Chain A
């Protein structure tokens, strides 16, 4: 974590949604770094705010959602407050995006080649001919057979796995330094999912791009990421090296989450289960948001909100580690 200067810094990010019944705080004080070339996984259950974090970074928050506090820095430069036209240049050129459903992220009316060429000429200023050559090169790099022929086909002529390869090619088109991949394999079958994960790992390594991989699939995270951030109710519950988070989790939520995943290599009669469900944004509990479901909650958890603090192997937002960590007195939620 003390690697070279971070590529991306997210500092105390708050995202809120004004509604008629008051303002909902969807992301509350989210902070993390991504080093150049690093793969950071972001896991959590639906509604934890993981996709929203990705959307905030690439500047594609759906209105009325808005960044209400904190900052996002890319190579030391603030990007959260850029005007829309400047942000458009950052997006694509410096940050690539991959979304869950490859069918909706491609334009069905244009050939795959035209979409790639458009991205390449916009961001890299190549001539049409050079751009086309680069497009074919990208399709070949993402494992699409016969790229010279496929480049002139439309998205509907590709299968699901092939379309996701095209989307990856598009995200990589302008040589970005960071790729935000939001559930890139969730819509795919397992055999295709393995291919896409392997591809994403390989091309990002080859290009030296860092990846923020948002997914609910812990298995994908384990295989792909260097570090992982576990999110719960709009906050980072735990962050650390992927092996440590899986095997020596410091937050009771992470332990529960790991235990609830059916394992392939052991037999258990029952899965560990976390009773209850994630709170709604309208009624986030006071103190630690996890305390109503936490088997180890004590008085302090009800009243005071824990910040990320040093746990044995990771950083966890849990008062259990207050004793062995220099506690930063956190603001009240």
Chain B
């Protein structure tokens, strides 16, 4: 069974494959250096004065570094509140970083977005959101939704050409050009998510940030969307940052995987290495926790405890209260993300060879 019923996008001008040839293989398209985002969650000033409360900050993302090669997929996994969606928003410039930087094609995006090249940069990176019900304007026809970025960036001006281009885009995600005349409510969840993919592809971006693109979908529909995303990557050389809490999905789509816990990257590795030999105790716990259809009736010992309150994270390694290998060093000294046998791990126990 194939998914893209229509033809692949008909000879689009300057599609990413053209650019890919110019970039040397293995070059990082996106590079994140020591990225951090802090949110002020203090009570209002008057309350602070009367109730003598101090200011409070959440370190949603706390010193994260990674890079994504052109044409590859980096997946970030973690449980709710680990900061993965904040990273996604920082990467496309929806939030300004508290410190650190995001470099896209060797230029700092915070600087570029303030300058004259902002629109050109935005054209090259797009985002797909989790909820296909909330991310499409219910009062707009699909034609207008998908054409909006084309108009905004002045890519296509002529009405007839616009219509044709929207038709091509819908075709590339397995929808019919005639669907352009419908409204979002006339589509199922999976079809809506394909519309948002078509919209994201409209500007021929090189880099797509996908924040839980299939979490709101049923499994059979999730399979349709994941297949389309992989097909598009192959055909157009797209680079993805894929955010998910579902490790099975991550294993299917990713080349590299980063595991986040309370705002920090605790392990980053090649997909195969991560799933074959997880190093960090948190990664091991996550892998052990996934219910798998091929492991009927297996008994496992679920890790105790829950994710701590990000307002008041534990000292040292933030995973130490739940970690079976923790010692005094773990509770006092924060581990750095260090290279270890080809992967990067932030764990004292791994570094010392205790596990």
Contacts and interface: CB of A to CB of B under 8 A. Distances in A.
Contacts of A271: 223, 226-227, 252
B3 A193 contact: no
Contacts of B230: 269-270
Contacts of A264: 247-248, 251, 275, 287, 290, 292, 294
A262 B220 contact: no
Interface string A222-262: 11100000000000000000110010000000001111111
Interface string A273-286: 11101000000000
Interface residues of B, number: 46
Interface string B212-227: 0000001111111011
Interface size class of A (residues with CB under 8 A): 35 or more
A208 B80 CA distance: 34
Given A262-B248, A263-B248, A219 B291 contact: yes
Interface in B107-138: none
A45 B298 CA distance: 25
Contacts of A216: 218-219
Nearest to B252: A262
Interface in B253-291: 275, 285-291
A87 interface: no
Given A45-B220, A260-B220, A191 B291 contact: no
Interface in B227-250: 227, 230, 245-249
B302 A243 contact: no
A220 B302 CA distance: 14
B231 to A, nearest CB: 8
A162 B220 CA distance: 31
Contact of B219 (A193, A260, A270): A260
B131 to A, nearest CB: 14
Q: Which of A160, A197, A222, A269: most chain B Cβ within 10 A? A: A222
Contacts of A268: 252
A295 interface: yes
11 contacts: A46-B218, A191-B303, A191-B307, A194-B303, A219-B248, A219-B290, A222-B295, A260-B220, A263-B248, A264-B247, A264-B275
Interface of B: 1, 3, 79-80, 188-191, 218-224, 226-227, 230, 245-249, 251-252, 275, 285-298, 300, 302-304, 306-307
A-B complex: 5 closest residue pairs judged by Cβ atoms = A219-B291, A260-B223, A45-B218, A271-B223, A189-B79
